[in-house]
Structure 1
Amino acid sequence: MSRFLSQEAARLAPYTPGEQPTDAQYLKLNTNESPFPPSPRVIKAVSRAELLKLNLYSDPTCSSLCQAVARRYGLQPENVLAANGSDEVLAFAFRAFCGQGKGVAYADITYGFYAAQTALFGLDATIIPLREDFTLCVEDYMDFPGTIVLANPNAPTGMTVPREDIQRLLEANPDRVVIVDEAYVDFGGESCVPMIFRYDNLLVVQTMSKSRSLAGGRVGFAMGSPELIAALNRVKYSFNPYNVNRLSLVAGTAALEDETYFQTCCASICQSRTWAAGELKRLGFTVLPSRANFLFVRSPKISGEDLYRSLKENGILVRWFDSPRIRDFVRITVGDLEQMHTLIDQVEQLLDTL
């Protein structure tokens, strides 16, 4: 560790991304990317003409992308903020709505970036355990006075919170912000976007990394009341006004305009998820009820760590978390049906050797 590192930086708890091998020897089912390429409209939009404009800064207002999001979700542009992935949206939100005397609450088993950002900004965090069956009960959050962050569907479990429960949370205390992280909502979750006009304390965060095949483009966005979006912009313009690059603005706008491709890809992934979940149950796995593009599973025959390592040795990457309560599980990204057949064949062969 550098002797120049500040005490504050030394206390950070950085997020650990999933493995990103640079060669093609692995079937990569560990980071919840789409198995499909971006929409043909995206590929066409990222043209030579756009590449030649890279000498110029991108639009700091992200106007074209914000307008496209607004059209897609029935909002106004002032209800939308675009960002360099949903992680940046979350960072802006943590900085805007949390601080001295205003802590944040989230589940004990959820997206690991929440804890990383809590440490980065020096926030007081209240960690609220999921129930024994990994469900999130909003009653456990009712009395918390600060900002609440819910991943819905949750990661890594894939399980959802009913929208009416989130509505009760919003109504219980209109003076606190509820951030609903909908990174995986397009695979069967129930979005809270329709509630934005009724609740000015609701911020919905989404990404194009999963359902719109733009993980490498780093495009995310927030939707909420104009006042919440203005607060996020206050942080953005204090940090990085040109936060979304030119090519990602073009790609994100084009992706939103190809609804048919989006729906087709999501339907295919949901079909693969149903098939893979059934096959894993046939092999004796516990499979949590996922509404995301991944499955969270546990076998009574092999530990999560051993399953992860054995699959990696045989060319398949899945995600294992060395964390309390979930060490026996692995998270498996849902790919196309051919990839899922490869996974199941390998898992079956592995179990037969035990």
Structure 2
Amino acid sequence: MPCFLSKKASKIKPYAAGAQPSQDGVIKLNTNENPYPPSPKAIEAYKNFRPESLRLYPRPDGGELKKAAAALYGLREDNVFCGNGSDEVLALSFYAFFDGGIMFPDVTYSFYPVWAELFGISYKTLPVNDDFTIPADKLTGRGIVLANPNAPTGIALDLCEIESILKRNKDHVVLIDEAYSFFGAQSAAPLIEKYPNLLVVCTLSKAYSLAGLRAGFALGQPRLIEGLENVKDSFNSYPLDAVAQAVGSAALSDTAYYEEIAKKITATRDKTIERLREMGFSVTDSKTNFIFAGKKGVDAADLKNFLEKNKIFVRHWDAPRISGYLRISVGTDEQMEILLSRIKEYISR
């Protein structure tokens, strides 16, 4: 039987998403979803959506979501590009800006090398330090892609370090992936007016409790946004559906609600980190809604399997430098107590 795939498609090594367990009673701490519901304004917008309007195409530019993002960050609408989750925005950005090659840390979001390979972009990886911090002064000479805070480590660079990267790479786009910045890191968005090479990418999946909606956006100067619009319209003119535009814009307008949720999550995170360290785990200084932890003498893959048998799902990568660690999403206080008790049970065997 002939192979109908193109040579490019046959060589693809796709991104491996976290498991989506379907059984009842699971504590799901493996994909960094928010354990709390969307804001009341977002839920009300969903309930009030007129289904008869679905016969019409949505606004191709993101409509109300574009306006809401611009208002939230104190920017103009031509500073905002909307897409079907930040993953789509990131993929289109790779295609649009990085012909000359890119650099990103060797321990980071594992979708970056997938897009680079898919679009034929040459890339270099910068080794992180032994403590997983990023030697930011070495990010130079080509397009830069940086998750800040980084994933899966949760470590963030200060805004002054981001600005230094921008200054050193004036002839290249510097993309800052801020999927987790709401939980303790400084956003680079205030630097957009100053640096035409800065693109900030955001999502509604994490802090805004809308992972099931698929909405994200990029912030940058109009020339970058126009480039993204042109690439988007060459793939799909209508990536963001009307429901996502209505609900997403309502969520972005409810900052006070999400700030309170972020406080709850970071408080739970910090308590859990303290407890894990008391058990002898090495835990990074997370500025996200997840924890990156490992312990000498503990097989992280075996611990993951033990937790899964007890209906607790966390993330593990059999990859260089991080195979001894687990990434644990922050759930409710009650969920984290169950997790900690099971970990204590495991290491006490």
TM-score range, shorter chain: over 0.9
Q: Which residue of 2 aligns with 1:118?
A: 116
Q: Which residue of 1 aligns with 2:29?
A: 29
Q: Which residue of 2 aligns with 1:151?
A: 147
Answer yes or no: is the 8 Å Cα contact 2:49–2:243 preserved in 1.
no
Question: Which of the numbers 193, 211, 216 marks the counterpart of 2:212?
Answer: 216
Q: Which residue of 1 aligns with 2:266?
A: 270
Question: Which of the numbers 265, 280, 286 marks the counterpart of 1:284?
Answer: 280
Distance 1:278 1:140 in 2: 32
* CA drift at 1:63: 2.1
TM-score (norm 2): 0.98
Q: Which residue of 1 aligns with 2:126?
A: 128
Paired residue total: 349
Distance 1:2 1:189 in 2: 51
Q: Which residue of 1 aligns with 2:84?
A: 84
* CA drift at 1:2: 7.4
Answer yes or no: is the 8 Å Cα contact 1:50–1:247 preserved in 2.
no
Deviations 1:96-132 (A, max 9, x none): 0022xx1111111000110110111111111111111
The residue identity in structure 1 corresponding to 2:131 is D
Structure 2 residue 66 is the aligned partner of structure 1 residue 66: yes
Distance 1:221 1:297 in 2: 30
Structure 2 residue 338 is the aligned partner of structure 1 residue 342: yes
Structure 1: 4+ residue segments shifted above 3 A: none
Structure 2 residue 303 is the aligned partner of structure 1 residue 310: no
Distance 2:169 2:85 in 1: 29
Aligned residue runs from structure 1 range 100-249, under 5 A: 102-142=100-140, 144=141, 146-249=142-245
Helix, strand or coil: the match of 2:202? strand
Answer yes or no: is the 8 Å Cα contact 1:272–1:334 preserved in 2.
yes
The residue identity in structure 2 corresponding to 1:116 is V
Helix, strand or coil: the match of 1:95? helix
* CA drift at 1:166: 1.4
The residue identity in structure 2 corresponding to 1:279 is R
Distance 2:117 2:190 in 1: 32
Distance 1:252 1:173 in 2: 33
Moved more, 223-232 or 55-64: 55-64
Answer yes or no: is the 8 Å Cα contact 1:59–1:246 preserved in 2.
yes
The residue identity in structure 2 corresponding to 1:45 is A
Q: Which residue of 1 aligns with 2:10?
A: 10
TM-score (norm 1): 0.96
Distance 2:49 2:103 in 1: 46
Distance 1:92 1:3 in 2: 28
Helix, strand or coil: the match of 1:169? helix
Distance 2:124 2:346 in 1: 40
* CA drift at 1:50: 2.5
Distance 1:96 1:62 in 2: 19
Structure 2 residue 317 is the aligned partner of structure 1 residue 321: yes
Distance 2:50 2:132 in 1: 46
Helix, strand or coil: the match of 1:35? coil
Indicate how the Cα distance of structure 1 residues 289 and 2 shifts in structure 2: closer, same or farther if over 3 A, else same. Answer: farther
* CA drift at 1:260: 1.7
Answer yes or no: is the 8 Å Cα contact 1:208–1:214 preserved in 2.
yes
Answer yes or no: is the 8 Å Cα contact 1:62–1:82 preserved in 2.
yes
* CA drift at 1:52: 2.3
The residue identity in structure 2 corresponding to 1:262 is Y
Distance 2:137 2:314 in 1: 33
* CA drift at 1:41: 1.1
* CA drift at 1:133: 1.3
Deviations 1:123-170 (A, max 9, x none): 11111111111111122122x2x2110000000000011211111111
Answer yes or no: is the 8 Å Cα contact 1:301–1:351 preserved in 2.
no
The residue identity in structure 2 corresponding to 1:288 is T
* CA drift at 1:13: 1.6
Distance 1:40 1:173 in 2: 42
What residue ranges of structure 1 are gaps of 5+ in the alignment? none
Moved more, 335-344 or 48-57: 48-57
Helix, strand or coil: the match of 1:216? coil
What residue ranges of structure 2 are gaps of 5+ in the alignment? none
What's the Cα RMSD here? 1.2
Distance 1:260 1:156 in 2: 27
Distance 2:64 2:258 in 1: 19
Distance 1:262 1:299 in 2: 33
